[in-house]
Structure 1
Amino acid sequence: MSNSEKNKKILLELVKLPENSRCADCGAPEPDWASYKIGVFVCLNCSGIHRSLSSRVKSIRLDFWEDDLVEFMKSAGNCKARSVYEKDVPPFYYRPKETDCSALREQWIRAKYQRMEFTGGTKYPPLAYTTGMFEGMLLKKGRDNKTYQNRKFVLSEREFTLTYYNKEDESKGPKAVISIKDLNATFQPQKIDHPNGLQITYQKDDHTRNLFVYHESSEEIVAWYNAIRAVRYAYLKTAYPTGSDEELVPKITRNFLKEGYMEKTGPLQKEPFKRRWFSLDSQNRKLFYFKNQLDAEELGVVFIGTESNGYSVKTCAPKNTRGNKWKFGIKMETPERLFVLMCEQEREQKEWIEALKKVLARPMSPQDITGEKKGFKMIKMCLHRTVQCSLVVEWISWMDVAVCCV
């Protein structure tokens, strides 16, 4: 066996060890690359970020490894690197996964190895997202148009609020003061069509409101994201003083379990199908639908309970439908209403049903029961409004017939 083959075999054995079997930075399985400067095994995507930091990376399988580098990798490894570079990561700081956007993964790697933010000790000046007060300019989408304009945002841990202004002159007062209580933030680069796009969601007057923002600097937008998480964490510690980090951290922010377009008909099952954008919030057991994916406010919301409480979801092939272009149906039943939805592809139909069943299978908490009552209220409002509109349409149609008969 040649020296090169021997070194390759050693590296392949090292990467099979439990502590090295996943990417040191995003957790992707079976990493094929390694930074021989830091001593960590990483995936292909993260290796590119390390290379941009001049971190010296090589492929475990394809590159030639010198004996001294192999010896270094034997003495190092992911676990030892974490004890140094992740010694003091705040509980609220988001640790990206392999499916997360590039901005999150890049800034996590830069924060660890380049800026040395988590090696312990007091930082001065303190890291911006740890100060309890964060302010700056973000490009925000207009509510009724696609234009993004600079707006000033102020985040306050003391007040538990996020405030933004339409103009830089604060004397004219804020456009909105948003409570941290029900606020969520999630990266949406594809939806916003910008690599640093962030969606901020909050409650206002029993409706869900969306703000779509971005910053040209990925470091700045990730700092905003973690500052929001820091204030959310502080709020949760106040609201649930006995809650452990294991319980509270997953509640800080969340990604939607599933999003996409489906066709939807009205509550009478007689109305034409219309295309709507759906977002499934697994944590709050809610399925929101909007006219378009960048709408500021939802058209409606469906609470997703459990099967034992009268909720179900399954495939269907509805007959006598009007206006639907898509053929793969989903029938979702609640105690208040039957929903019929259509997907464009069979794959999407299966993904939606799988996602909805995950929510159905999770036991309901006391907070979920409160959300269910609010969901019933919203459904009744939508039903009342839609039935009224249907009656008006039927009345107009009857009048048209009457006029034609005269």
Structure 2
Amino acid sequence: MAESAIVALTRKDGNGVCADCGMENPEWASISVGVFLCARCAGVHRGIQGRVKSLSYDNWDNDSLQIMEAVGNKKAKEKYEICVPVYYKRPDSESVDVLRKEWIVAKYDRLEFTDPDKQESYNCATKTGNLWKLGRDRKQFAVRKFVLSRATNKLVYFVNEDTVKPKAEADLDLVNAVFVPEKIGKLFGLQITFFRNGSTRNLYVYSDNSKDIVDWFMAIRAAKWERRRIAFPDRDLTQLAEELTKDFLMEGWLYKMGPKNEPFRKRWFTLDRRKLMYLEEPLNAFAKGEVFIGHKDAGYNVSMGAAQEGDRGSGSQNSNFLFSFTLHTPDRDFVMRAETQEDMEKWILALQKVVELPLTTQDSRLAALLVPKKSSNSFRLIKR
């Protein structure tokens, strides 16, 4: 069977991947802008009044074919992505819907990347606005005033508009921001973490407006980018941008054994780059404990099974240790257990990748805060 004319066009000019998220083998196309798309990005285009067609199931007339042939992904990129900031986090095939949507709307509707002046909502010296924030103890969302300042390198929030003293402030160098809509239960939910006074603080926020929450996310990245660009003039700019914020490598429920062979207790674990946190509940403001994970050359490692199983009552034949694994650190072994073999294997793989990564400048700063001064190979365990 001969290849259709529209499918043949996917073989050239960068058309073999989605124009917006980079997913391979796009199955849709936007007639409105002349680009090839994956199903998820096509859905966003349709939602903003874009004309989309399936490459396989829709009929293609000559006019539509001529549009796709005249434009295509390469030319569209040259038109709509003239000045995308290096710090702007483009979505990939796994990105959350809100990041994908705002990238597409910003690119084709607001034409945000054709003129730097259209990026002032996040590329700014100071950003002020309101977000819904989950209370630390009451577990209810309330509106709070947030202010981001490049001059002070701080992100702060206030209980209300008239409050002079901030309720909390975060050093932007130690801030991470991750979209977690399912965990928060809000479509436009963001988790902001920062290290302060010896432990990590988790802020769970959302906005009723998708552009607003993405603007805050990009403002954090833009502020961090400007500071690092000046501090590290010789570093590769793309690499600097990749380190601004990082999605959590893993999250989920695990069972953790206490330090003195105490029974396993169910905890919510979050692997945030080199920091492993465990919480009683996913939306806790503070972790029960957190561990800095260093490089394998410093004595960090992960293995399947429970370390010193013989001292814990029988080893692999004990069902309590089914799907268990151990994080080895210079001062302590952490024994954890997953509910399935698949989860166990995912956690082991994620932890192994961390211990094999070289430490960055930011990693070293975090280590200095988490690790006691008496030993550079140690860790700090914070218990609540």
Correspondence 1:304 to 2:293: yes
Partner Cα distance (2:218, 2:381) in 1: 36
Distance 1:50 1:185 in 2: 26
Matches within 5 A, 1:52-71: 52-71=47-66
- Counterpart residue type for residue 359 of structure 1: V
Bigger radius of gyration: 1
Instruction: Go from structure 1 to structure 2 and tell me whether the alpha carbon gap of 1:366 and 1:95 turns closer, same or farther (over 3 Å shift).
Output: closer
Deviation at 1:307, TM superposition (A): 2.9
User: Match for 2:21 among 22, 26, 41?
Assistant: 26
The match for 1:336 among 327, 331, 335 is 331
**1:94-140 Cα distance to aligned partner (Å, 9 max, x none):** 111121111111111000111111113644xx631122221111000
Tell me what 2:265 maps to. 274
Q: Is the 8 A contact 1:336 1:376 kept in 2?
A: no
Is 1:212 matched with 2:204?
A: yes
After TM superposition, give the deviation of residue 170 of structure 1 in Å: 2.7
The secondary structure found in structure 2 opposite 1:105 is helix
* Corresponding residue SS for 1:155: strand
Aligned to 2:237: 245
Deviations 1:48-103 (A, max 9, x none): 11011111000001000001211221121111101011111111111111211111
**Aligned letter for 1:201?**
T
1:359 partner SS: helix
What amino acid is the match of 2:184?
Answer: I
CA distance in 2, matches of 1:151, 1:252: 24
Partner residue in 2 for 1:355: 350
Structure 1 residue 376 displacement after superposition: 4.1
Compare 87-96 and 234-243 and name the one that shifted more. Answer: 234-243
Q: Judging changes above 3 Å, is the alpha-carbon distance between structure 1 residues 342 and 231 closer, same or farther for their aligned structure 2 residues?
A: same
Question: 1:185 pairs with 153, 162, 177, which one?
Answer: 177
Q: Could you list the per-position Cα deviations for residues 347-369 of structure 1 after superposition, in whole angstroms to 9, with x for gaps in the alignment?
A: 10010011111112223346545
1:128 aligns with 2:121: yes
Look up the equivalent residue of 2:238 and give its one-letter code. E
Q: Is the 8 A contact 2:13 2:73 kept in 1?
A: no
In structure 2, distance between residues paired with 1:294 and 1:326: 27
Q: CA RMSD in A?
A: 2.4
Deviates more, 1:80-89 or 1:362-371: 362-371
Distance 1:304 1:222, change over 3 A: same
- Whether the aligned pair in 2 keeps the contact of 1:263 and 1:326 (CA below 8 Å) is no
Cα distance in 1 for partners of 2:148, 2:90 equals 21
User: In the alignment, is residue 286 of structure 1 matched against residue 275 of structure 2?
Assistant: yes
Q: Deviations over 1:128-174 (max 9, x none)?
A: 11222211110000011320000011111222111211122134x21
* Whole-angstrom CA distance in 2 between matches of 1:324 and 1:267: 19
Q: Secondary structure at the match of 2:11?
A: coil
User: Which of 316, 337, 345 lines up with 2:340 in the alignment?
Assistant: 345
Aligned-pair distance for 1:179?
Answer: 1.6
**Within 2, Cα distance between the matches of 1:105 and 1:65?**
27
Look up the equivalent residue of 1:145 and give its one-letter code: R
The structure 1 residue matched to 2:359, chosen from 361, 364, 368, is 364
Give 2:225's match in structure 1, choosing from 220, 233, 257: 233
- Alpha-carbon distance in structure 2 between the residues aligned to 1:382 and 1:177: 23
> Cα gap change, 1:374/1:202 in structure 2, threshold over 3 Å: closer, same or farther?
closer
For 1:112, the aligned partner's letter is K
Match of 2:130 in 1: 137
Residue equivalent to 2:93: 98
Secondary structure of the residue aligned to 1:208 is: strand
Q: Deviations over 1:277-304 (max 9, x none)?
A: 111122xx22111121111112222222
Give the length in aligned residue pairs: 374
Letter in 2 for 1:274: R
Q: Answer yes or no: is the 8 Å Cα contact 2:305–2:321 preserved in 1.
A: no
Secondary structure class of the residue paired with 2:216 = helix
Shift of the 241–64 alpha-carbon distance from structure 1 to 2, 3 Å rule, reads same
Q: How many Å separate the matches in 2 of 1:135 and 1:192?
A: 23
The answer to whether 1:194 aligns with 2:177 is no
Larger helix proportion, structure 1 or 2?
1
Q: How does 1:356-395 map to 2 (within 5 A)?
A: 356-365=351-360, 368-369=363-364, 371-372=366-367, 374-377=369-372, 382=381
Within 2, Cα distance between the matches of 1:68 and 1:51?
19
Percent identity for Structure 1 against Structure 2? 39
Contact 1:262 1:344 in 2 (8 A): yes
Match of 2:4 among 1, 6, 9: 9
Tell me, what secondary structure is at the counterpart of 1:170? coil
8 Å CA contact retained: 2:290, 2:380: no
**Whole-angstrom CA distance in 1 between matches of 2:107 and 2:97:** 15
CA distance in 2, matches of 1:347, 1:84: 44
Does the C-alpha gap of structure 1 residues 9 and 230 become closer, same or farther in structure 2, counting only changes over 3 Å? same
Q: Whole-Å Cα distance in 2 between the matches of residues 150 and 308 of structure 1?
A: 46
* Separation (CA, whole Å) in 2 of partners of 1:85 and 1:192: 33
Structure-2-length-normalised TM-score = 0.91
Partner of 2:148: 155
Q: Is the 8 A contact 1:324 1:342 kept in 2?
A: no
Equivalents in 2 of 1:230, 1:200: separation in Å? 15
After superposition, what is the alpha-carbon deviation per residue over 1:220-274, rounded to whole angstroms, capped at 9, x for unaligned? 1111111111111112123323333122101111111111111111122x21111
Unaligned runs of 5+ in 2: none
